[in-house]
Amino acid sequence: MRSLWTAATGMKAQQFNIDTISNNLANVNTTSYKVQRAEFKDLFYANIKRANINDDQGRPVNLEVGHGVMPVATKRDFRTSSFMETQGTYDFAINGEGFFAVELPNGDIRYTRDGSFKLSIDGDEATLVTSEGYFVLSEDDDLITIETGIKDITVDELGYIYGKDEDDETVEIGRLMLVNFMNPEGLQSEGQNLYRATAASGEEILLEAEEMSTRVIQGYLEASNVQVVDEMVKMITAQRAYEINSKTITTSDEMLQLANNLKR
């Protein structure tokens, strides 16, 4: 019976939906996490009789039956969330579109909206890094280093980093690299709040200070944009849809049993 396999695809799809929702709820307190939404499409159709109108006569509609559903995408919502005040000198939130750029130990570049940066000390210099120790890049693709004696580090809205030297003079240390993509939803998630550029996302586009509307906020971190109530409602809906599909399988099985028990 076609309904057995059709309902099975529905159960698999709803299981995938629950998996996506559970990942959202698990990251409700993850810095700068962006909520995902599962998207589905119907499977191919069996055309039993096709629409055919000749000389204003014939069948005006198709006689067809579908074969279920399949997950096709997990869309990530990159809208800016609320901000949490930390008062940390090296905590930065992005207000608007864009990503920070970081360099992995193998030299590959990754992108993140998690601005909870730290200092890695090496002799007389300190380098700005992520919590995992990945280097934060400047707009010149260089590391951001702070020499010994530089104090009172501040970052303005455009991402420029300033400090004061031993003579209490303001010096410019560099500018955070801020980039965006033509299609951010095409970025590949790699965990650790990192994204990798793909052919679908396009190449990085450097956000120039003079033209960008995005702003950097020092002393704040971007919160997760997961709405717990919305995810709970989605979970209930997915659970009910799973139950309905399982009931369809049970009904189809009962129909087969009745057919098998027919006697002359």
Task: Give the integer Cα–Cα distance in Å for 10 and 243.
Answer: 10
For 203, half-sphere exposure in the C-beta direction (CA atoms, 13 angstrom radius) is 1
| 99 and 212 together in one domain | yes
pLDDT of residue 108: 93
133 and 44 belong to one structural domain? no
Residue 213 is classified by DSSP as -
**Which residues form the domain of 54?**
2-78+226-260
What distance in Å separates the CA atoms of residue 138 and residue 81, rounded to the nearest whole number? 24
Q: What is the pLDDT of residue 210?
A: 83
Q: What are phi and psi of 70, to 5 degrees?
A: -145, 145
Nearest to 157 by CA among 213, 216, 100: 216
Instruction: Tell me the residue type at 263.
Output: K
Tell me: do 230 and 194 sit in the same domain: no
**136 to 56, 132, 143, 161, 234: CA distances (angstroms):** 70, 11, 6, 13, 37
* Cα separation values, 53 from 45, 61, 106, Å: 21, 9, 64
pLDDT for position 168: 85
**What is the number of structural domains in the chain?**
2
Encode the chain (264 residues) as per-residue pLDDT tens digits: 788 999 999 999 999 999 999 999 999 999 999 999 999 999 888 888 877 777 667 778 888 888 899 999 999 999 888 999 999 999 999 999 999 999 999 999 999 999 999 999 887 889 999 999 999 999 999 999 998 888 899 999 999 999 998 888 899 999 999 999 999 999 999 999 999 999 999 999 999 888 888 999 999 999 999 999 999 999 999 999 999 999 999 998 888 888 888 865
Same domain, 49 and 174: no
Same domain (yes/no): 89, 217: yes
Single-letter amino acid code for the residue at 112: T
CA 192 from chain center: how many Å? 12
Indicate the Cα dihedral angle 145, 139, 137, 176, nearest 10°: 70
Written as one letter, the residue type at 109 is: I
At residue 165, the pLDDT reads: 87
Name the helix (H) or strand (E) containing 260.
helix 228-260
User: Is residue 12 located within the same domain as residue 42?
Assistant: yes
Q: Burial level of 215, CB count in 10 A (0-12/13-18/19+)?
A: middle
What pLDDT score was predicted for residue 264? 57
Closest CA to 197 of 185, 207, 187, 206: 187
Residue with token string 């799973």: 242
* Residue with token string 């970052």: 155
| 208 and 139 in a common domain | yes
Does residue 116 sit in the same domain as residue 68? no
Residues 91 and 213 reside in one and the same domain: yes
Alpha carbons 78 and 97: distance in angstroms, whole number:
8
Q: What pLDDT does 50 receive? A: 79
DSSP 60: S
Do 67 and 169 belong together in one domain? Answer: no
Q: Is the dihedral of CA 68, 72, 74, 76 positive or negative?
A: negative
Predicted local distance difference test score (pLDDT) of residue 55: 63
**93 and 200 together in one domain:** yes
Q: Say whether both 133 and 165 belong to one domain.
A: yes
